[in-house]
Amino acid sequence: MKNSLNDEKKSDKSEIVQINSPMTLLMYQSAIDIVVDRLKAINIELTNKSGHHVIRGITSRIKSPESITKKLIRKGKKIDYETAVESLNDIAGVRAVSYFFDDIYQISKAVKKQKDFTLIKEKDYVQKPKKSGYKSIHLIVKVPVVLDSQTTYVKVEIQIRTFAMDYWAELDSQMCYKKSAGDIEMVRQESKRYAEAIAALDNKMLEFRKKIELLEKNKVLCETDKVKK
């Protein structure tokens, strides 16, 4: 029985390892590069328009065969390359981190306006956070990748969240999933309270920015009136 289980695991890994083939990695990396370049352009546009820096940072990754296999098992899916590409939306992932709460919707809106991107799915975990307190906007888009004169539409998950949300999510992923955490439910409840506190801080910082912008606007108006007089 033990040998058969080991053989099954080896078979599963061999079925999914094609994700790591040079051409497949090139395809997903090309899709990521397209999204990252587009987000950089969006950042310049929104920063010039708003007068403040919008995107603090952009990161990306391609899921490992091990992570893909685990997710397929959780979903009860067949473990092979074709099923992974068809059923998983986050093999290629890009994260954009903004400074302020209202910017995440501006970034999301700009991404959805890209004419060569096809929006597959949108999940707003900001308006409807997960039970853990997790907040972010997830966009699943298909982007055109041209290799060997052939165009393939590749799915990329784009996560958009604030610096504060990102800080909480990173710490939460480290603390809540450690086997030595003990009372997991207690950790989750405590983590959710911190998520709510961080959300409140996000809103306060947005209000603070708007106050400063209003002061700057009034100052400009006063100086303009002085010049006219």
Catalytic site residue from 66, 86, 157, 216: 157
- Structure-block tokens of residue 17: 């390892």
d(C-alpha 17, C-alpha 32), whole Å: 20
Is 8 in the active site? no
133 Rama class: left (phi>0) / alpha (psi -120 to 50) / beta: left
Overall pTM > 0.75:
yes
Q: What is the mean pLDDT of the chain?
A: 83
Cβ burial, residue 54 (10 Å; 0-12/13-18/19+): buried
Return the pLDDT at 10.
Answer: 46
Contact of 143 with 156, CB cutoff 8 Å? yes
41 vs 211, residue with greater confidence: 41
For 176-215, the pLDDT digits (tens) are: 555 455 566 776 676 777 777 787 787 777 777 777 777 7
Q: CATH says 20-163 is which class?
A: alpha beta
Return the pLDDT at 226.
Answer: 52
For 59-113, the pLDDT digits (tens) are: 999 999 999 999 999 999 999 999 999 999 999 999 999 998 899 999 999 999 9
d(C-alpha 35, C-alpha 16), whole Å: 25
